[in-house]
Amino acid sequence: MKTASALFRSAGRFNLAAIAVVVFAIVVFGTSRASAQNKDAGAGNIKQSTYAALADAPAKARERKNPFAGDPQAMAAGGKLFEQHCAECHGMKAGGTRKGPSLLQEEVQEATPGTLFWLLSNGVVRRGMPVWSKLPEQQRWQVVAFLQSLKVQAMNSQP
Amino acid sequence: MVAHVIPESIRQKFPVLSFLVLLFSLLFCFPSLVWAQESPYIVTYDHYLEEPGSLEVEYFSTFGTQRGGNDFHAFWAEFEYGATAWWTTEFYLDGQTTFHDSTVFTGFRWENRFRLLQREHLVNPVLYIEYEQISGADKILKEIEGHDVESDFADSNAALRKEHDHELELKLLLSSSFKGWNVAVNPIVTKNLLPSEPWEFAYAVGASRPLALKASPNRCNFCRENFVAGVEMYGGLGDTQSAGLHDTSHYLAPVVAWNLPSDWTVRVSSGFGLNDNSHRLLLRWGLSREFSGFGELVGRWLGSLGGRR
């Protein structure tokens, strides 16, 4: 009887663990897939909303100057950081992927350094862009310097 | 994969070894593009969540000294997934080896963290909810709660395993980043789901900073910006039946994280007990790797399964 009881307890524990794993998997992947489907269905809206988020930057934040503006070392460091943290969603050349919009668009390239810094620091959480304030302020400015160097590169590459 | 690496007889004798080989195989074999920028904390949480669609696989060890009993090595694996930019969910598997005793699986945990505010503020709150089903032999000491003291762990594994706990744990993760520093404060409340058990209280606080705030232009393993150093302190605060600091244990732990460009993060922490109720030393280390695009990969796989039907 004792053995049966122990087995029952053991099976009960196993079942609970199995149920937890199944619920975990269903909830998480269900949410991810729903999120991906929403993105597919409204890709245009997402693009618009993501760029629209640039307009949310407060005036004071927009006016901030990049301490590394024009510094080639900072641009190179920013490029490295971009590759490490941003390219997964925005593409290796910042041209955008299914997960994130192009950063070569006019809306981004015409934005002030302060606006880009603000967006990087605050993310667009409701649209899937994480908050990047875990990078120190200097590194975020380096990323901004890199992003703004893309405009110059694009202009130079035009015939 | 494990079947090819470890003979059947060894797998039966050493299930933990099999599990570790599987875990490390997964860690080494899966390609990844993302470079993790992890905090050095092992007990304290800051407000940064996993990137959406990314899976972080982590292995941690705690070596603890034990007066009036055998020293132990507790270990756990974490599977942390960024469901959205505001929700991270995580599954834990715990185990431990008590020297001159035995190695046992001690239970599982399922935690969820929800970012409460969309944007960055001076203090950023994140709600933490965890369900855990563990035995009394669990020694990972991820949280020190209520009146947890060193002598609770002195019994043999056989005796400790007779206790089974179903607990709900709630934390408010308050965290702030300023001038490269991160400061995090976590008030903790735990409830054993048995009605007779009291609510237990605890805390964890931490501060950390990268060794360099500017990134170097070159890809490098030993650049100062890859290292984050800090300190954390954690302990129990009693329970609803007996609040206060009597019969509680507390630890102070310097912590260091090394974020490698090859997607790996190594964490090391040495926790020193601050009173006679605490283990004298909790030496911890952890290894983790982030897999970007994991959710997309699984989504595509599920989609292809659906397509076949």
Chain A residues closer than 8 Å to B120 by CB: 121-123, 131, 133
CATH number of the structural domain spanning residue A141: 1.10.760.10
| Contact (CB, 8 A) for B290 and B34 | yes
Phi, psi of A108 (to 5 degrees): -80, -45
For residues A85 and A77, give the distance between their C-alpha atoms in angstroms, rounded to a whole number.
12
Superfamily of domain B37-308: monomeric porin ompg (2.40.160.40)
Chain A residues closer than 8 Å to B115 by CB: 125
Is 0.90 topped by the overall pTM?
A: no
> How many domains is chain A partitioned into structurally?
2
Residues A62 and A135 in one domain: yes
Domain ranges of chain B: 1-30, 37-308
Range of the domain at A127: 43-157
Asked if the model's pLDDT at residue B66 lies above 60, the reply is yes
Work out the average pLDDT over A24-40: 51
What would the DSSP string read from start to end of B129-181? Answer: EEEEEEETT----SS--TT--GGGG-S-HHHHTT-EEEEEEEEEEEEEEETTE
Residues A50 and A126 in one domain: yes
For residues A81 and A83, give the distance between their C-alpha atoms in angstroms, rounded to a whole number.
5
Residues A87 and A136 in one domain: yes
Residues A51 and A87 in one domain: yes
Percent of chain B with pLDDT over 90: 80
Its ipTM equals 0.85
Residues A4 and A80 in one domain: no
Residues A132 and A61 in one domain: yes
Chain B nearest C-alpha distance from A4 (Å): 16
Residues A76 and A8 in one domain: no
> Tens digits of per-residue pLDDT, B180-218?
999 999 999 999 999 999 999 999 999 999 999 999 999
Chain A nearest C-alpha distance from B219 (Å): 7
Chain B nearest C-alpha distance from A127 (Å): 8
Residues A122 and A95 in one domain: yes
> Tens digits of per-residue pLDDT, B114-139?
999 999 999 999 999 999 999 999 99
For an interface test with A, which of B51, B132, B216 has the most A Cβ atoms less than 10 Å from its Cβ?
A: B51
Residues A121 and A54 in one domain: yes
